[in-house]
Amino acid sequence: MIVKYWGVRGSIPCPGPSTLRYGGETACVSVEIGNNLIVLDAGTGIKKLGQYAAATSMDIYCLISHLHMDHIRGFPFFDPLYQTDRTVTLIPLVLDGTPHYPTVIMDGVYFPRKWEDLPANIVMADIAADDYFGRLGFEVNTFPVNHPGDAVGFSIESEAKKFVHVPDNEIDRTSDKFSILVQAIDNADVLSHDAQWVNDDLPMKEGWGHSSVTELCDLAVELEIKNLVLFHHDPDRTDDELDVIGRSATERLHASGINCSVAFEGMNITI
């Protein structure tokens, strides 16, 4: 299982000289298992992923964690959508029994082309990820997280290895979703999780649907996570500030033997 990070920011793209090292594109992560390419979210980072994917023969499956713009705005710029000999399978985000797809942005109003006119063969699966992937020899499961408008996290398991990716989530121990989160994270080899805030951002940012680095580190210690990846960086956070956050988190987790990384564009993890 190979995990690749193509966009690591939250909220809005932030290109510029102060974000060159970690990158300024919004959320997009891919997971490769054999000849299968699983796309997790379609933020602006999906543009570079599309250039990579278009040059391969991998089977492509796209999933979204929720419908906020920083997680779907890049979808129309995914190159495989414009390959006539390509099939792209869209796995629905199911909220309250209703399926949602990133094609919602391609309606001829918010984007000039409608998804129905795309050259590729677009397959809109009619079952959620939890029931779809088992036939391919691995598991992709979703679980509800604490984020305004509703969102999900992803748990991917293959050959006894487990990757959990939670793009947007506010850790709230009083929420009924907290126990679900804990159960989903259990035994993860790598946990990639929203860490948009630092302590100085709170409490003004409470209720925005994101976690602080401190809250996330404390949870990782409690759950004995092996490897932690800080994700969904605030767009105002500079590279130098993320360096400081990374060092602080590493020091906080050192005694527990947890490896900590700050996600950056181009980061690859083999699990």
Q: What integer pLDDT is reported at residue 123 of this predicted model? A: 98
Q: What integer pLDDT is reported at residue 114 of this predicted model? A: 96
Query: What is the domain-level CATH number for residue 227?
Result: 3.60.15.10
Q: What integer pLDDT is reported at residue 254 of this predicted model? A: 95
Q: What integer pLDDT is reported at residue 15 of this predicted model? A: 95
Q: What integer pLDDT is reported at residue 215 of this predicted model? A: 96
Q: What integer pLDDT is reported at residue 55 of this predicted model? A: 98
- For residue 18, give its domain range: 2-270
Q: What integer pLDDT is reported at residue 199 of this predicted model? A: 94
Q: What integer pLDDT is reported at residue 258 of this predicted model? A: 97
Q: What integer pLDDT is reported at residue 233 of this predicted model? A: 98
DSSP the chain: -EEEEEE-B-SS---SGGGTTT---B-EEEEEETTEEEEE--STTHHHHHHHHHTS--EEEEE-S---GGGTTTGGG-GGGG-TT-EEEEPPEEETTEEE-GGGG-BSSSSSSBGGG-SSEEEE-SS-HHHHGGGGTSEEEEEEES-TT-EEEEEEEETTEEEEEESS----TTSTTHHHHHHHHTT-SEEEEE--B-GGGTTTTTTSS--BHHHHHHHHHHTT-SEEEEESB-TT--HHHHHHHHHHHHHHHHTTT-EEEE--TT-EEE-
Number of domains in the chain: 1
Residue by residue, pLDDT tens for the chain (271 residues) are: 999 999 999 999 999 999 999 999 999 999 999 999 999 999 999 999 999 999 999 999 999 999 999 999 999 999 999 999 999 999 999 999 999 999 999 999 999 999 999 999 999 999 999 999 999 999 999 999 999 999 999 999 999 999 999 999 999 999 999 999 999 999 999 999 999 999 999 999 999 999 999 999 999 999 999 999 999 999 999 999 999 999 999 999 999 999 999 999 999 999 9
Find where tokens 């980061």 sit.
267
